[in-house]
Amino acid sequence: MKAKRRVVTASGASVPPARRTPTVRKPKSPFLPARQRGPGAVTPLTSPDPGGRPGTDGLPVDLRVDLGRGLVLPNPILVASGTFGYGTEYAEVVDVNRLGGICCKGTTLKPRIGNPTPRVTETPGGMLNSIGLQNPGVDAVLEKYADTWAGWPVPVIVNVAGESVGDYVEVVKRLDGMPGIAGIELNISCPNVGRGGLQFAIDADAAASVTAAVRRATDLPLLVKLSPNVSDVRPIARAIADAGADALCAINTLSGIAVGPARERPLLGNIYGGLSGPAIKPVALRIVYEVSQVVSIPVVAIGGVTELADVLDFLAVGAVAVQVGTAIFADPTLPVRLVDELAGECRQRGLTSYRPLIGTALPKRAGAPSSKGAEYRP
Amino acid sequence: MRLVGAELIESREILPGQWLQSYHAPALATGSRAGQFVHVRTGDLSGLVLRRPFSINTADLATGTITIHFRTVGRGTQWFTHLRPGDTIDMLGPLGRPFEVDPRSQHLLLIAGGLGIAGVRALADEAIRDGRQVTLLFGAASARDVYPTSLLPDELEYVVATDDGSVGRTGFVTELVEDYESWADQAFACGPEPMLRALARLATTRRGRLGVAKLGRKRGAGKADPPGSPAARRKAFLQVSMEQRMGCAVGACLGCVVMTTSGAPQRVCREGPVFASEEIDWEGGWGR
């Protein structure tokens, strides 16, 4: 394993803990070892960046991403919820602390046993899953993993799911202020649970109300994950942005089914599953392209990333970061490798930051994109 | 758990559509125990996004090789058959929890249905090496699917049943168990779920008839072990190796669960694939 270079700022260890406020919160500075990181240790955005592989030739490349409300990721390659467990499962074969962020398995208020089996099946260029949000509940998750996460430099974003607005709010309240939690990813788009979940993602008013309720309950950085299972995602994205989300994630899985071998019934125990993998990349690209033009908050892309070209495609249509999901199952080392490859790509192009790669394929416009008043014109 | 490149040494079709492949992977062979598995990436990247899990059929520490035994069922498994000696593939392993043999058990009964032989094959080697007596009961549809004797250790007693009676006893392998259940100290099974369910039922009734719980200092007495622990499996008469469609194989995706009697689904890749038969909820009670 390669030794990680850590840049320790002179003030890092000596700054007394400051009272947490919503705007200057730096819950997870990637530049200091955990023990030297205090709540008040703020790393200036202009400091040298460790995102690229240390020791390789050329200038350091700034890969940091600001997702708002103080959530600054060390690089724009995250791992997607549901594909990386709680970060500990792959830790034997992956250096998780080189990731830009970890979105943990969907977490609910009460424990859930999930859906009947079979729960996963391979499909052409992808897979269907219908786990049904199996998880031990937020309290058990915190008890088991919060300390581990607090000791990791990598930001951990907790994916939160629920059946009602009250559920979401209650889970978020328990996460608020816990060490080791860098942010919330609101899962309002799980296609695999009977009640709740998806209903919030297909209606702009419902999406806005759950976002606003969660916003009131916490000042943790708030990401909201969009569903592709809608006719037009733009009004929903705008409503969520207006309701106070700090960033959007797109997309969750596409609803689909597979047929069993004997063709007597659908294959999955839950009948319906969510399609992921390279097969959905064009859909994800389209939605990121649409959403990034109608909101002014950062968009994190998810959907079929298997190589650097996919990362560059998503950046080009306006994403500031990407999540790698299904591809991890085939190649657990892919996300970390993508971090190195992205830095290498920037160096090759003579860039000191990856930011010039963002939005290059979007329609040229005079001003900055607005989150308000941009109406859909076919 | 390690991620290694494994070089193909030998590949042959031992039965119609069934392949036995030997790979040089010292890092996996050394740390593995009977019952564990490897998760292997196909090199066919034209749309296959998942790895394929294979039981470690045998592991040879001296040569650093492991073998896998599989049936060609689709494009993924087909791809493996096209590999040539010298080709290197990407293996993650050893994964999962192994069989646990009670140190006092002298007579081990292995029960395999068809390709389930791959799940218990390594245990035969381990047990014989430890000086135990092993009987393998094997069931297949017909003579053409019967695992070749030449690939089994000489010390092993091999009893075959076929559905059509073309070789060995006519009927299911579960019907052979009756003759051996009083001889066996412990039993280990892998195969289709209906077979495992039938065996679990037999094991339960055996406990009532032949169990030793209150007859003195024998297996079954003493304090209860936490469910899922190696000690709980070690005390069980029947241990089963479960199969389930698998995603990540490291416990992250929760795709490969089985329902247990505790009411909580357990991951085949992490808490399994080997379970004590009484841990499994054979009715698959998902409460719906």
Q: What phi, psi does B158 have (nearest 5°)?
A: -120, 120
On whether residue B54 sits in a domain, the answer given is: yes
Pick the last residue of a domain from B204, B224, B242.
B242
Model pLDDT for residues A163-172, shown as the tens digit of each residue:
889 999 999 9
Model pLDDT for residues A3-31, shown as the tens digit of each residue:
444 444 444 444 444 444 444 444 444 44
On whether residue B255 sits in a domain, the answer given is: no
On whether residue A47 sits in a domain, the answer given is: no
In a mutational test of the B interface, the residue from A1, A89, A134 whose CB has the highest number of chain B CBs within 10 Å is A89
- In this complex, do B252 and A126 lie within 8 Å of one another by their Cβ atoms? no
Tell me, yes or no, whether B156 and B78 share the same domain.
Answer: no
Domain containing residue A193 = 52-114+134-255+276-357
Is A326 an 8 Å CB contact of chain B? yes
Verify whether residue A346 is a known catalytic residue. Answer: no
In a mutational test of the A interface, the residue from B48, B244, B250 whose CB has the highest number of chain A CBs within 10 Å is B250
On whether residue B22 sits in a domain, the answer given is: yes
In the structure encoding, which two tokens stand for residue A281, read together? 């990349």
pLDDT band for position A122 (cuts 50, 70, 90): very high
User: Is residue B137 helix, strand or coil?
Assistant: strand
- In this complex, do B257 and A333 lie within 8 Å of one another by their Cβ atoms? no
Q: How far is A365 from chain B (nearest CA, A)?
A: 37
On whether residue B74 sits in a domain, the answer given is: yes
Alpha carbons A108 and A136: distance in angstroms, whole number? 8
With CA atoms as reference, the chain A residue closest to B260 would be A113
Does the pLDDT value for residue A46 go beyond 80? no
pLDDT under 50 in chain B at which residues?
216, 288
Tell me the ipTM for this assembly: 0.89
- In this complex, do A332 and B92 lie within 8 Å of one another by their Cβ atoms? yes
With CA atoms as reference, the chain B residue closest to A81 would be B253
CB-defined contacts A:B, below 8 A: 107
In the structure encoding, which two tokens stand for residue B236, read together? 């069980």
Local structure of residue A107 (DSSP, 8 states): B
Domain containing residue B139 = 107-242
On whether residue A3 sits in a domain, the answer given is: no
Does the pLDDT value for residue A84 go beyond 90? yes
On whether residue A124 sits in a domain, the answer given is: no
Tell me, yes or no, whether B87 and B177 share the same domain.
Answer: no
Pick the last residue of a domain from B63, B95, B127.
B95
Q: How far is B179 from chain A (nearest CA, A)?
A: 34
Predicted local confidence at residue B231, as pLDDT: 86
Pick the most confident of A48-52, A367-371, B257-261.
Answer: B257-261
Residue A119 to residues A79, B202, B244, B273, B284: CA-CA distances in angstroms? Answer: 21, 29, 9, 16, 14
pLDDT band for position A195 (cuts 50, 70, 90): low
Q: Is A108 exposed, middle or buried (0-12, 13-18, 19+ CB in 10 A)?
A: buried
Model pLDDT for residues A287-321, shown as the tens digit of each residue:
999 999 999 999 999 999 999 999 999 999 999 99
Task: Print burial letters for B190-207: b (CB count within 10 Å at least 16), e (below 16).
Answer: bbebebbbbbbebbeebb
Q: State how many domains chain A has.
A: 1
Catalytic pick among A104, A190, A249, A346: A190
Is A93 an 8 Å CB contact of chain B? yes
Model pLDDT for residues B15-48, shown as the tens digit of each residue:
999 999 999 999 999 989 999 999 999 987 678 9
Is A137 an 8 Å CB contact of chain B? no
Model pLDDT for residues A128-150, shown as the tens digit of each residue:
999 999 999 999 999 999 999 99
Of B51, B244, B265, the CB nearest to A113: B265
Give me the CATH number covering residue A296. Answer: 3.20.20.70
Alpha carbons A218 and A208: distance in angstroms, whole number? 16
Q: How far is B288 from chain A (nearest CA, A)?
A: 9
